[in-house]
Amino acid sequence: MSTSIQEAGKLSAKDFASEQDIRWCPGCGDYSILKQVQTVMPELGLPKEDIVFISGIGCSSRFPYYMDTFGMHSIHGRATAIASGLKATRPDLSVWIITGDGDSMSIGGNHFIHLLRRNFDVNVLLFNNEIYGLTKGQYSPTSELGKVTKSTPYGSLDHPFNPMALAMGADGTFVARSMDRDPVHLRTILKRAHAHKGTSLVEIYQNCNVFNDGAFEVFTEKSSKANETLFIENGQPLIFGAEKDKGILLDGFTPRVVSLSDVSANDLWIHNEQDRLKANILVRFFDDPRIEGHFPRPFGLFYVEDRFTYNEAFVAQIEQAQLKGEPDLNKLLSGGSVWVVE
């Protein structure tokens, strides 16, 4: 039935590109994400037919059409729920959910948090462009407060979601952030997401060059990236800056930006991706970069936890019940007590 793993190993990125013409706007950040996913796929060693991409509605949700795997472009916000049912009954499949900030944080917010707490063994790629693109430019649940859009000519009144903090709050077991403009970093995170057993959430900052161009410019442009971002790695001190001269020190529960000329790297906050408490502090590095004294925005794997997956437990419970022996339908049909009419 399946292509062997050996054959799968021979696949290239091209094998994962479907025949469909790609219809994203020229210059859209989605192109880069698609390319990184197609590049990573052959390295996972999975036969194509065992991979399923499921999306909701939005620009990013067209993604499955462009992957030559199994795919479903479903309805708004529900990819997470559909993937849950699929994974419960088909744990053999590698399931990838493609969603956007409107799809997962707004209309699908409920399913999003429940997927995380249940910890189905699936991967979620959250394309966050902080805008509604497909409906042509309304603010989204991740847009900054006061954002002026078609639906908010006087500025939005909504306090934005911090998706990483939300994921921590929902007891996610793999909470990571990357960006469309850093292909190497994105590919590394994608591979780790695949390797993690449980729900792997990867928030990807993605530029919508038509309706929200430059939303993440400060993090992605060469001129500012080094000073405004913090790339976190397990076991490494939190260091950033063009000259690698700044670090984060944890003073009790209070993080502080320090200069490496004052503090030794050994005394800095050492990232431990299994430390839930510290991850909860780190995801809160979410300041508006225009504010004086703000923290750099972290990228990488904030938190990972080894917790049983829903699909494993789901299958185990059934298998446990089946140990009692072959089920007898005739017995079920007759129930507990019968009587004979002659």
Closer residue to another protein (CB): 65 or 286: 65
The residue among 72, 51, 198, 59 whose CA lies nearest residue 123 is: 198
Least distance between another protein and beta carbon 229 (Å): 35
Considering the complex, what minimum distance in angstroms separates the CB of residue 206 from another protein? 21
C-alpha to C-alpha distance for 63 and 83, rounded to whole angstroms: 15
Question: In the bound complex, what is the minimum distance in angstroms from residue 30's beta carbon to another protein?
Answer: 16
Instruction: Please say whether the beta carbons of 320 and 314 come within 8 A.
Output: no
Q: Which residue has the tokens 């999306």?
A: 55
Q: Which is nearer to another protein, 121 or 130 (CB)?
A: 121
C-beta separation of 216 from 205 below 8 A: yes
Residues that bind another protein (CB under 8 A): 1-3, 18, 20, 47-52, 54, 64-65, 67-75, 78, 80-90, 92-93, 110-111, 114, 314, 317-318, 320-322, 324-325, 327, 329-330, 332-342
- Tokens for 86, please give them: 């699929």
**Nearer to another protein by C-beta: 82 or 186?**
82
34/17 Cα distance (integer angstroms) = 9
Give whichever of 223 and 317 is closer to another protein, judged by the CB atom: 317
Q: Which is nearer to another protein, 48 or 147 (CB)?
A: 48
Handedness of CA 73, 77, 81, 87 (dihedral sign): positive
- Are the beta carbons of 226 and 201 closer than 8 angstroms? no
Q: Whole-angstrom Cα distance, residue 263 to residue 247?
A: 8
The distance of closest approach from Cβ of residue 325 to another protein in the complex, given in angstroms and rounded to an integer, is: 8
* Least Å from the CB of residue 241 to another protein: 43
